[in-house]
């Protein structure tokens, strides 16, 4: 067996080992209910902002504390606690992906990804309204 | 219906040009193929002539459609959807170019434009390889033309044209009136994040990089088509160097853009979009090295084929990843799908299947040397280095393809908690190995190296690098120890390995080539690469957060803050005019101004170093009313030193309209000096009234009659604040000077003295949240970031040098 083949095999073995160890680091996309079942596990939570509930963020008292409520597609509700400033577009988001762990007092989240409504809907609502037509919503 | 005011001619020409480019590309591709494959050899020159005419028509039609798209953007013809969607009248001239490539259609045109330009260089210079290479490139031009075609075939939409009309694409009642254009007065504008000078230059360079990867690929395919497995390797080399330079530069310009206008606090986030373009570059570098090995030793021709073919296929794959919308939730870039997924997949397979098939079939015929490489030969270790790059890129693209995996298997697996670390912990080892190999391999000769000279020549560079590396480890150190001692140690080793790559290659120019810089392209590129590694390692491992919340006005509300995130309290709120303690600095938010030119609001943040008293100002900004959203888009600003950057960006702002909306009235109250009154969060007392107090605060009013109240505020939490409202009398006019206790949202005025006998005074008090102008921001210190930027420049220079060097060699070879 040639030296090069040994290196090649080592390379393949390392690459496979790396990918296997990667699979152990992977997380899951969860609903609120399933996240509650694995309390303490790091998950990606897909939900949307409950606009009826207040967003608690007061940068003067603490710029590193933001709390709000989300509801998911199955109707479950949870409080979200984040130690980042409130994302600027949070109120307008139609969907949020929250990274963090479910705890007793709510979902402790360290990253918030917003999905804002697609440009087109917005454009139709704002830019392209016929001057005479009625305003929607 | 007849519509008024539309300018339809440019669009019609544009459409025609796209169709023409599609047809002529196909014609050129077939003709170039016949030009070297036609059974009747005497007809080949005629085919070549036809092919060139076809490619000329193709180039012209691409150029014209390119120009027309620019023309309609520049003239704000909002009847075209592309113009309306991606631009607006307020944009400065240079950003109109960014509008051009903001959309998919424009960037496909840009890509095609570069193919046309590169094609003519090949026609002019490649001699007998013109036929096969240009046949491949013309076919790629055909494929790209289908992307911007926008025509329905059997109910299936093929491509998306940049010249479609707004009224045909949108369903809105406004289009039922003939004079609708009068109401479409402005476009949607350019995404605020793209309003940065890097976005004017980064896409063209990146797409030049994308486009140029087809040349080594086309040479390799040409080798397979003609079964001349040897001849193509020499002329492909300078092209591979060029492509490595363009693609590398394009990627890193994107990193520079991210550093200057995105707010994740860095230049690289292992985002899928970044990875997707990095991976082809890594494999291209592997191919470039195996190509060199083949030229000098006859080894690794098969690997060269494989790497060049994979490079281009991975460019196509990255196109699929970034444009199909499949990345969805995993990328901050969040592209939305364009409904062209099938077509984008076909784009990959149209090249993958023929190239893969030919490669597999001819694999056995591709010459290879059975004899084993010598352990003391350059080719052996160069090949190991190429393999390491290759495996590293496989791992990166494997991790990045998670969303594709989910799509195929219907799973819902999410990325790991710390995506960046997931890559870093692997790639730091790649950096170590590659750093070492880059240093050592230069000192090896092809075939065999006398051991003695090898070790003696390597002695000094090794000693010097070790010394420098240890100095950096000791004096600069690695602050990043969050991930345990293993990773911490790896960072130290990697720093020394990077230094080794720089020192050894610099030494090689001197000792190996006797200072002949002309031949030193490779060494220069290696020095640059070492600097890139060093800059990345030092800046990433010593990035320091300056803005830890130390204001004291923030009693921790969270029970276990450390639990929510491992890096809590990174944001600091600055109240306008109040100097706040931030690490080494006292920082003050002094003012903000709206720039009429680019619609950005600039915030002046004043820094004063506590010890050195050094003073500077930074101007982070926000773009108000960004496209498609009412939120604010912040842009960072940085103070550049030779050895570090101070980098800040805003994370939250007070609502600028809140003040006008604030209707809270001052409550008047007659109080007796010394008595205590209450407010919602505590109590306050007027201690005394002073006439013309010697306070610094009132120094500006010297000479006037001034009456100031000395008020103590005691909050519920026991903190005590001072307030000194005043009024002054000047030329018989009364001026009220309010004073604010920011953290308690209190505003005091002193209205008038009451019955002096009873020691009374009338105080006005307002409690309101809206009184405050503040910003919340994050600040970092990035050391050694300039080493990274400089390293990129050096690397690119090295690639260009070696490109010219290899071109000369290829010419000699052809003659």
β-pair partners for A111:
A99
Q: Are residues B224 and B352 in the same domain?
A: yes
The residue whose two tokens read 């590398």 is B248
Any idea how long chain B is? 815
Of B373, B402, B557, the CB nearest to A62: B557
pLDDT in tens, B623-654: 765 554 555 678 889 999 998 999 998 888 77
Structure tokens at B446: 């092809």
Question: How far B326 CA sits from the closest chain A CA (Å)?
Answer: 14
Nearest to A108 among B184, B563, B575 (CB): B563
Q: pLDDT value at position B433?
A: 97
> Which residues in chain A have their CB less than 8 angstroms from residue B332's CB?
113
| Cβ under 8 Å to A: B residues 85-114 | 85
Q: Does B548 reside within a domain?
A: no
Same domain, B24 and B166: yes
Residue A38's CB is within 10 A of a number of other CB atoms, namely: 13
Report the pLDDT value the prediction gives residue B560, as an integer from 0 to 100: 39
DSSP state of A83: S
Question: Does a structural domain hold residue B446?
Answer: yes
Task: Report the percent of chain B where pLDDT is more than 90.
Answer: 53
* Predicted local confidence at residue B219, as pLDDT: 97
CB-defined contacts A:B, below 8 A: 176
Q: Could you tell me if A134 lies within 8 Å of chain B, comparing CB atoms?
A: no
Among B88, B333, B629, most A C-beta atoms within 10 A, so best to mutate, is: B629
User: How many angstroms away from the CA of A48 is the closest CA of chain B?
Assistant: 14
Strands B544-545 and B637-640, sheet pairing:
unpaired
The pLDDT tens digits for B666-681 are 788 888 888 888 888 8
Q: Tell me, yes or no, if B369 comes closer than 8 A to chain A by beta carbon.
A: no
Set of chain A residues whose Cβ sits within 8 Å of the Cβ of B186 = 127
Q: Give the other-Cβ count within 10 Å of B340's Cβ.
A: 21
Answer whether residue B405 is part of any domain: no
Domain shared by B522 and B575, yes or no: no
Place B329 in a pLDDT band, splitting at 50, 70 and 90: low
**Measured between beta carbons, which residues in chain B are less than 8 angstroms from residue A15?**
391, 394-395
Asked if pLDDT for residue B42 goes beyond 90, the answer is yes
Average pLDDT over residues B138-150: 96
Question: CA dist B547 to A62, A110, B572, Å?
Answer: 13, 17, 6
> Do the Cβ atoms of A133 and B174 come within 8 Å?
yes
**Pair B25, B148 in one domain:** yes
Lowest mean pLDDT among B147-151, B695-699, B750-754: B695-699
In this structure, is residue B394 part of a structural domain? no
Per-residue pLDDT band for B814 (boundaries 50, 70, 90) equals low
- B703 assigned to some structural domain: yes
Beta-bridged to residue B682, according to DSSP, are B679, B715
Domain range spanning residue B596? 569-640+775-781
pLDDT > 70: percent of chain B: 92
Q: Which residues from chain B sit within 8 angstroms of residue A112, using beta carbons?
A: none
> Out of B494-503, B610-619, B731-740, which region has the weakest mean confidence (pLDDT)?
B731-740
Cβ <8 Å between B652 and A57: yes
Residue A127 is nearest to which of B188, B413, B772, comparing CB atoms?
A: B188
Question: 22-51 in A: which are within 8 Å (CB) of B?
Answer: 22, 25-29, 42-44, 46
Q: Of A92 and B641, which is predicted with more confidence?
A: B641
Search chain B and give the residue with CA nearest A102: B564
CB A74 within 8 A of CB A93: no
Give whichever of A64-78, A102-116, B273-287 has the largest mean pLDDT.
Answer: B273-287
- Number of domains into which chain B is organized: 5
Residue A26 and residue B413: Cβ atoms within 8 Å? Answer: yes
Full set of structural domains in chain A with CATH: 28-126 (2.40.50.140)
Which residue's structure tokens are 């997707």? B276
Q: Does B299 touch chain A (CB under 8 A)?
A: no
The whole-angstrom distance between A10's CA and the closest CA on chain B is 10
Best to test chain B binding among A30, A46, A83 (most B CBs inside 10 Å): A83
Residue B780 has pLDDT above 80, yes or no: yes
* pLDDT category of residue B31 using cuts at 50, 70 and 90: very high
B545: closest CA among B480, B474, B473? Answer: B480
Same-domain status, B292 and B238: yes
Cβ burial, residue A104 (10 Å; 0-12/13-18/19+): exposed
How many C-beta atoms lie closer than 10 Å to residue A113's C-beta?
19
What pLDDT does residue B336 have? Answer: 54
Chain A: nearest CA to B523, how far in angstroms? 25
Chain A nearest-CA distance from B596, in A, is 22
Note the pLDDT of residue B656. Answer: 57
Helix or strand or coil: residue A133? coil
| Residue A11 to residue B387, Cβ atoms within 8 A | yes
Q: Look at residue B9 in the predicted model and tell me its pLDDT.
A: 95
Residues 99-118 of A with CB under 8 A from B: 99-100, 103, 105, 108-110, 113, 115-116, 118
Highest mean pLDDT among B26-30, B328-332, B591-595, B639-643: B26-30
Do B53 and B178 belong to one domain? yes
Tell me the per-residue pLDDT of A6-19, one tens digit each, with 9 for 90 and over. Answer: 999 999 999 999 99
Q: Identify the burial level of B780 via C-beta atoms within 10 angstroms of its C-beta, where 0-12 means exposed, 13-18 middle and 19 or more buried.
A: buried
Write down the pLDDT at residue A18: 93
| Closest-CA distance of chain A to residue B693, Å | 31
Q: Greater confidence, B359 or B633?
A: B359
Phi, psi of B761 (to 5 degrees): -150, 145
Joined tokens for residue B494: 């990697």
Residue of A nearest to B769 (CA): A60
* pLDDT band at residue A132 using 50, 70 and 90 as cut-offs: very low
pLDDT of residue B739: 81
> B173 and B252, same structural domain?
no
A9 touches chain B (CB under 8 A): no
Task: Give pLDDT tens digits for B712-767.
Answer: 988 887 778 888 888 877 777 777 777 877 667 788 888 877 777 778 888 888 87
**pLDDT of amino acid B410:** 87
B529 with B600, same domain: the answer is no
Mean pLDDT of B462-477: 94
Contact B570 A25 (CB under 8 A): no
The pLDDT, as a whole number, for residue B355 is 97
The CA-to-CA distance between both ends of chain B, in Å, stands at 66
Q: Do B556 and A42 touch (CB under 8 A)?
A: no
Residue A114 CA to residue A97 CA, distance in Å, equals 6
Quote the CA–CA distance of B743 and B767 in Å, as a whole number: 11
- Select from B391, B556, B632 the Cβ nearest to the Cβ of A88: B632
Asked if pLDDT for residue B518 goes beyond 70, the answer is yes
| DSSP SS3 for B274 | helix
CB-closest option in B372, B414, B568 to A3:
B372
When pLDDT is averaged across residues B58-75 and rounded to a whole number, the result is: 96
Query: What does the pLDDT average to over B320-326?
Result: 85
**CA distance to partner chain B, nearest, from residue A49 (Å):** 16
Q: Which residues of A touch B183 (CB under 8 A)?
A: 130-131
**Of B414, B629, B769, Cβ closest to residue A29:** B414
For residue A113, the model assigns a pLDDT of: 82
Please indicate whether, in this complex, the C-beta atoms of B774 and A128 are within 8 angstroms of each other: no
The verdict on B666 and B626 lying in the same domain is no
Residue B392 in domain: no
Last residue of a domain, one of B345, B373, B401: B373
Domain co-membership, B669 together with B734 = yes
Choose among A18, A60, A129: nearest Cβ to B774.
A60
Specify whether B166 is located in the same domain as B137.
yes
DSSP per residue, B438-455: HHHHTTSPSS---HHHHH
CA of A58 vs chain B CAs: smallest distance (Å): 10
Within-domain flag for B534: yes
Q: Which residues of B are less than 8 Å from A82 in CB distance?
A: 564
Looking at B101-105, B125-129, B237-241, B336-340, which range is the least confident one?
Answer: B336-340
Residue B387: the pLDDT is: 95
Interface of B with A in 610-639 (CB under 8 A): 627-634
Distance from CA of B21 to the nearest CA of A (A): 30
Lowest-confidence segment of B207-216, B235-244, B605-614 by average pLDDT: B605-614
- pTM for the predicted model, two decimal places: 0.86
Q: Which residue has the higher pLDDT, B386 or B184?
A: B386
The alpha carbon of residue A24 is apart from the nearest alpha carbon of chain B, in Å, by 9
Average pLDDT over residues B357-370: 94
Confirm whether B400 is domain-assigned.
no
Contacts of A124 in chain B (CB under 8 A): 170, 172
Element (H, E) at B49: helix B44-74
pLDDT grade for B548, boundaries at 50, 70 and 90: confident
Identify the pLDDT of residue B324: 82
Q: Flag whether pLDDT at B556 surpasses 60.
A: no
Break chain B down into helix, strand, coil percent, rounded to 5. 55, 15, 30
Beta strand pairing call for B705-715 and B682-691? antiparallel
Of B35-49, B68-82, B481-495, B622-636, the range with the lowest mean pLDDT is: B622-636
| Lowest-confidence region among A119-133, B60-74, B353-367 | A119-133
Statement: residue A26 has pLDDT above 50: yes
pLDDT of residue B152: 87
Q: How many CB atoms lie within 10 A of CB B443?
A: 22
State whether A61 and B561 contact (CB < 8 Å): no
Same domain assignment for residues B632 and B754: no
pLDDT, residue B8, reads 93
Interface check for A123 against chain B (CB to CB < 8 A): the answer is yes
Nearest to B628 among A3, A28, A122 (CB): A122
Q: Residue B470: pLDDT band by 50, 70, 90 thresholds?
A: very high
The predicted-structure confidence for A29-88, as pLDDT tens digits, reads as follows 899 999 999 998 999 998 999 988 888 887 777 788 889 999 998 999 999 998 888 887
- The mean pLDDT value of chain B amounts to 87
Please give the pLDDT value at position B671. Answer: 85
Average the pLDDT over B384-407 and give the result.
94
Cα–Cα distance, B5 to B77 (Å, whole number) = 10
The residues facing B720 across adjacent strands are B714
- For B560-613, the pLDDT digits (tens) are 333 334 445 788 888 777 788 888 899 998 888 877 766 788 999 999 998 999
């Amino acid at each position: 067996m040639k030296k090069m083949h040994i290196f090649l095999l080592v390379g393949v073995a390392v690459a496979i080992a790396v990918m296997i160890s990667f699979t152990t680091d992977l997380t899951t996309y969860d609903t609120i209910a399933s996240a509650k079942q694995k309390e303490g596990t790091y998950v990606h939570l897909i939900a949307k902002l409950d606009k009826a509930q207040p967003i608690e963020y007061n940068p003067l008292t603490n710029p590193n504390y933001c709390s709000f409520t989300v509801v998911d597609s199955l109707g479950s509700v949870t409080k979200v606690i984040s130690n980042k400033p409130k994302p600027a577009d949070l109120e307008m988001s139609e969907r949020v992906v929250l990274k963090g762990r479910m705890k007793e007092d709510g979902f402790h989240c360290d990253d918030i990804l917003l999905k804002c409504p697609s440009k087109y809907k917005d454009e139709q609502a704002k830019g392209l309204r016929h001057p005479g037509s009625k305003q929607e919503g | 219906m007849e519509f008024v005011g539309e300018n339809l001619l440019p669009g019609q020409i544009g459409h025609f040009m796209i169709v023409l480019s599609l047809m002529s590309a196909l014609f050129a591709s077939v003709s170039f193929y016949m030009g070297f494959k036609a059974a009747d050899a005497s007809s080949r020159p005629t085919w070549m002539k036809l092919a060139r005419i076809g490619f000329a028509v193709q180039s012209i039609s691409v150029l014209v459609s390119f120009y027309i798209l620019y023309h309609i953007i520049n003239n704000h013809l909002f009847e075209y959807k592309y113009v309306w969607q991606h631009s607006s009248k307020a944009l400065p001239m240079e950003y109109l170019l960014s509008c051009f490539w903001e959309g998919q259609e424009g960037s496909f045109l840009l890509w095609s434009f570069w193919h046309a330009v590169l094609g003519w260089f090949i026609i002019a210079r490649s001699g007998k390889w013109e036929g096969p290479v240009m046949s491949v490139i013309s076919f790629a031009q055909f494929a790209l033309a289908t992307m911007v075609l926008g025509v329905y075939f059997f109910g299936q939409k093929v491509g998306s044209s940049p010249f479609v009309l707004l009224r045909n694409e949108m369903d809105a009642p406004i289009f039922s009136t003939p004079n609708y254009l009068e109401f479409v007065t402005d476009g949607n504008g350019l995404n605020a994040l793209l309003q940065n000078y890097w976005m004017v230059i980064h896409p063209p360079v990146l797409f030049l990089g994308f486009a140029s990867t087809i040349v080594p690929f086309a040479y390799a395919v040409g080798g397979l088509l003609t079964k001349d497995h040897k001849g193509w390797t020499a002329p492909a080399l300078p092209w591979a160097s060029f492509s490595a330079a363009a693609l590398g530069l394009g990627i890193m310009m994107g990193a520079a853009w991210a550093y200057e206008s995105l707010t994740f606090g860095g230049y690289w986030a292992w985002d899928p979009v970044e990875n997707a373009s990095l991976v082809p570059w890594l494999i291209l570098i592997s191919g470039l090295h195996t190509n060199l090995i083949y030229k000098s030793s006859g080894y690794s021709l098969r690997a060269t084929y494989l790497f060049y073919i994979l490079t281009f296929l991975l460019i196509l794959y990255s196109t699929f990843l970034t444009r199909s919308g499949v990345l969805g939730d995993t990328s901050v870039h969040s592209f939305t799908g364009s409904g062209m997924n099938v077509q984008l997949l076909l784009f990959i397979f149209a090249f993958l299947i023929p190239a893969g098939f030919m490669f597999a079939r001819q694999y056995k015929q591709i010459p290879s040397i059975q004899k084993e490489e010598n352990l003391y030969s350059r080719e052996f270790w160069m090949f190991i280095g190429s393999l390491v790059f290759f495996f590293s890129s496989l791992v990166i693209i494997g991790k990045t393809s998670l969303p594709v995996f989910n799509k195929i298997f219907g799973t819902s697996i999410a990325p790991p908690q710390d995506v960046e670390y997931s890559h870093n912990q692997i790639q730091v080892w790649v950096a170590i190995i590659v750093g070492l190999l880059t240093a050592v391999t230069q000192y090896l000769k092809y075939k065999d190296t006398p051991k003695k000279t090898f070790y003696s020549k390597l002695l000094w560079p090794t000693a010097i690098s070790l010394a420098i590396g240890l100095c950096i480890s000791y004096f600069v150190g690695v602050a990043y120890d969050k991930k345990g001692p293993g990773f911490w140690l790896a960072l130290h080793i990697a720093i020394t390995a990077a230094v080794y790559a720089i020192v050894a290659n610099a030494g090689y120019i001197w000792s190996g080539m006797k200072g002949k810089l002309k031949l030193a392209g490779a060494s220069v590129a290696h020095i640059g690469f070492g600097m890139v590694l060093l800059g990345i390692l030092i800046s990433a491992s010593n990035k320091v957060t300056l803005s830890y919340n130390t204001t004291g006005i923030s009693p921790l509300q969270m029970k276990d803050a450390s639990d929510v995130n491992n890096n809590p309290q990174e944001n600091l709120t600055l109240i306008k005019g109040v100097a706040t303690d931030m690490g080494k600095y006292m920082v003050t938010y002094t003012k903000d101004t709206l720039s009429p030119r680019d619609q950005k609001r600039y915030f002046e943040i004043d820094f004063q170093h506590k010890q050195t008293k050094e003073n500077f100002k930074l101007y982070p900004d926000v773009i108000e009313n960004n496209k498609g959203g009412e939120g604010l888009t912040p842009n960072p600003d940085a103070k550049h030193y030779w050895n570090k950057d101070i980098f800040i960006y805003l994370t939250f702002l007070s609502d600028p309209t809140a003040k006008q909306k604030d209707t809270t009235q001052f409550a008047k109250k007659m109080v007796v000096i010394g008595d205590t009154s209450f407010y919602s969060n505590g109590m306050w007392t007027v201690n005394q009234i002073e006439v013309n107090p010697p306070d610094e605060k009132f120094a500006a009013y010297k000479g006037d009659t001034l009456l100031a109240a000395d008020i103590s505020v005691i909050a519920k939490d026991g903190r005590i604040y001072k307030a000194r409202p005043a009024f002054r009398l000047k030329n018989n006019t009364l001026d009220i000077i309010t004073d604010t206790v920011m953290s308690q949202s209190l505003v005091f005025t002193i209205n008038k003295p009451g019955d002096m006998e009873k020691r009374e005074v009338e105080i006005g008090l307002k409690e309101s949240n809206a009184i405050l102008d503040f910003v919340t921001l994050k600040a970092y210190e990035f050391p050694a970031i300039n080493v990274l930027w400089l390293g990129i420049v050096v690397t690119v220079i090295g690639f260009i040098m070696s490109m010219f060097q290899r071109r000369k060699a290829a010419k000699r070879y052809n003659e």
